Amino acid sequence: LLSGRESIDSSNMEDDVSLKFRQQLLLIDENLVAEDVAALKFLCTDLLPFKKLEGVKSAVDIFQLLMAEEYLNEEDTFLLAELLYRIKCHSLLKKLGYTQDKVQECLHEKGRVSLYRQMLYELSENITSEMLKEIIFLLQDCLPKQRITLSALELLILLEKQGLLTENNVQVLEEVCMTVSPDLLETVNCYKGAKDVLSIDPLNMTMLSHTEGLFLSMKQYLKHKRCCIVAKLLFTTSTSIGYIFINIYAVFSLDNKAANLTQGFSEMNKMASYKMDGPHRGFCLVINNVKFGRSLLERKGSHKDAEELEQVFTWLGLDVRTYTDLTSQQIKDLMQTWQHVQDHKDRDCFICCILSHGESGAIYGKDEELVSIRMIMSHFTAEQCPQLAEKPKLFFIQACQGKEIQRPVYVEADARIPDLPSTQQSISPSESIPAEADFLLGMATIDGCVSFRHIQQGAWYIQALCSKLQLLVPRGEDILSILTEVNDDVGRRVDRWGTKKQMPQPSYTLRRKFIFPIPRDPPPS
């Protein structure tokens, strides 16, 4: 009798786990739009029967197919986590118990999406509507005669169905990309180079054995200066293999000039990029205002943001200084102090991050007095701070730029409580930037709107910024590309009720690309 009860209890527990798992899948499905479902469907093309995929109408349909093929169950959700990671739905990873870092760490062991499929998906993401029209025109003899509207993904699938495009034959892509866009062609060449590198046993790579043979296999790509492009794609497949590739190149460089390989991936960016090879990277200030006077609430969770900023910018080579709970006058005094620091002349850049409550064009000191963002930035113009003349100066502001309307329980807004009047006029981010070159202002939200912060996990904007820097700096991406990814990440997030959204807004007067040199160490966890 006891054994029977135990059996029933065990069965009930299994049913509960299965029910919760399916509930999580439904939550994920509810947060995916049609474009996301199309992307998931495309990335699963090599894993699931094509005829069954043709009938897919929703993400739930895909989940059912993955479970039927034993790719997905309550004990192993990594494939779904990988798929969400590939389509940049990073905020949904936590529903499966994953983070971006955890997925990236496991990709080289558990990843199932092929390099070929990744390349095609990346290609589709970079094909504009005008490019698509040109490509369809070039391939019209290969396409059905009846007029149909095709997306980039649908076009690629059609080429595969007709046998014109395969993992080992991408000639049709090379030909059309050569005509339409050299950048698209680079993606295809990137795939071909990375494919040859990965044809070497990855286990041998990770053990760093037979290094001379590996070097000879890479030689053609290094000779053609394609090392950095290949490494960029390798990072999307396996961070560890990407780093190994870089280190091997540094040891066996053909021209014996590899000492500074990690200064950047692409030679074509050198002339258009800010100089970032000085003896010191630069200073990074983090001002973290958490506790205020009577009217403004404590900014719970902000310490997590400050800690992550310190870790990430230290990893990027900056000398980070953190200040907590400064009054408006102390903020002004601090800016004047750093304005006159002579050591700026030996640094490549200057970065300042401010976490506080705010209004349009301003942030609050702990005394609840406003400080103009423009005034803060104006301390570092070429006239006021000649040591930083012609050097990039980056400011990241986590603060509301307007009034909150409703305050949820677990997500708070970095703004005044609703019944406090504001005398601050609306000021756009572009008006906050000094009228001269070499500035970037990254705002957590557009003017007039609130920005959100989880009281345990930190601010949406800062968490996305830190995550994207760790993910994309090793791939050689410039800061504006990274901030575009931050916009995408934050723009996909919603509060727990699904009613609050946020969109960051970068403004800049940069004259060149700002590319962080790739750190030798892996990103902080």
Measuring CA to CA, which residue among 139, 143, 128, 115 is closest to residue 181?
128
Q: Are strands 411-413 and 452-454 parallel, antiparallel or unpaired?
A: antiparallel
Helix (H, G, I), strand (E, B) or coil at 516: coil
Same-domain check for residues 129 and 191: yes
Q: Which position has the token pair 């949904």?
A: 92
CB count within 10 Å of CB 274 equals 18
Same-domain check for residues 495 and 359: yes
Helix (H, G, I), strand (E, B) or coil at 430: helix
Last residue of a domain, one of 167, 200, 233: 200
Within a domain: residue 475? yes
Could you tell me if 395 and 354 are in contact, meaning their C-beta atoms sit under 8 angstroms apart?
A: yes
Please tell me the distance from the alpha carbon of residue 411 to that of residue 496, in angstroms, as a whole number: 8
Backbone dihedral angles phi then psi of residue 103, each to the nearest 5 degrees? -65, -45
Which amino acid makes up residue 472? L
Same-domain check for residues 85 and 155: no
Same-domain check for residues 69 and 194: no
**What's the CATH code of the domain at 161?**
1.10.533.10
Largest pairwise CA distance in the chain: 87
Within a domain: residue 525? no
Q: What is the pLDDT of residue 94?
A: 87
Same-domain check for residues 32 and 165: no
Same-domain check for residues 361 and 309: yes
Same-domain check for residues 372 and 485: yes
Measuring CA to CA, which residue among 308, 229, 190 is closest to residue 476?
229
E strands present in 295-392:
319-324, 347-355, 358-359, 362-364, 370-372
Within a domain: residue 141? yes
Please tell me the distance from the alpha carbon of residue 18 to that of residue 47, in angstroms, as a whole number: 23
Distances from the Cα of 82 to the Cα of 20, 89, 170, angstroms: 20, 10, 25
Last residue of a domain, one of 152, 171, 200: 200
Classify burial at 522, counting beta carbons within 10 Å of its beta carbon; exposed 0-12, middle 13-18, buried 19 or more. Answer: middle
> Is the whole model's pTM more than 0.95, yes or no?
no
Sheet holding 362-364, edge to edge: 358-359, 362-364, 370-372
Could you tell me if 368 and 296 are in contact, meaning their C-beta atoms sit under 8 angstroms apart?
A: yes
Per-residue pLDDT tens digits of the chain, which is 525 residues long: 545 555 545 455 455 668 889 999 999 998 888 888 999 999 999 999 888 998 899 999 999 999 999 999 999 999 999 999 998 888 889 889 998 888 988 887 888 998 899 889 988 888 888 889 899 999 988 887 765 678 899 999 999 988 999 999 999 999 998 898 877 888 888 788 777 655 544 444 433 333 333 333 443 443 344 444 455 455 444 444 454 454 444 444 444 433 343 444 444 444 478 999 888 999 999 999 999 888 888 888 788 889 999 999 999 999 999 999 999 999 999 999 999 999 999 999 999 999 998 887 788 999 999 998 889 999 999 889 999 999 999 999 887 655 544 333 344 555 554 444 443 444 544 455 555 789 999 887 655 444 444 455 567 888 889 989 999 998 889 999 999 888 887 776 554 544 455 566 678 888 899 999 999 888 886
Q: What is the number of structural domains in the chain?
A: 3
Within a domain: residue 312? yes
Within a domain: residue 249? no
Alpha carbon of residue 445 to chain centroid: 17
Within a domain: residue 220? no
CB count within 10 Å of CB 23 equals 11
Please tell me the distance from the alpha carbon of residue 364 to that of residue 356, in angstroms, as a whole number: 6
Q: What is the pLDDT of residue 150?
A: 84
Could you tell me if 372 and 431 are in contact, meaning their C-beta atoms sit under 8 angstroms apart?
A: no
Q: Are strands 439-443 and 505-508 parallel, antiparallel or unpaired?
A: antiparallel
Task: Return the ∠ at Cα 243 (arms to 259 and 227), rounded to 5°.
Answer: 65
Same-domain check for residues 353 and 486: yes
Same-domain check for residues 345 and 454: yes
Last residue of a domain, one of 113, 133, 151: 113
Helix (H, G, I), strand (E, B) or coil at 508: strand
Same-domain check for residues 193 and 65: no
Please tell me the distance from the alpha carbon of residue 133 to that of residue 138, in angstroms, as a whole number: 9
CB count within 10 Å of CB 99 equals 15
Measuring CA to CA, which residue among 328, 313, 490 is closest to residue 411?
490
Residues marked active site are found at 357, 400
Within a domain: residue 10? no
Same-domain check for residues 39 and 184: no
First to last CA, the chain: 50
Q: What is the pLDDT of residue 71?
A: 93
Same-domain check for residues 323 and 447: yes
Domain hosting 160: range is: 122-200
The alpha helices in 76-210, defined as continuous H runs, are 78-86, 100-110, 115-126, 129-138, 152-161, 171-180, 182-198, 202-206
Please tell me the distance from the alpha carbon of residue 223 to that of residue 214, in angstroms, as a whole number: 14
Please tell me the distance from the alpha carbon of residue 195 to that of residue 217, in angstroms, as a whole number: 12
CB count within 10 Å of CB 219 equals 12
Within a domain: residue 105? yes
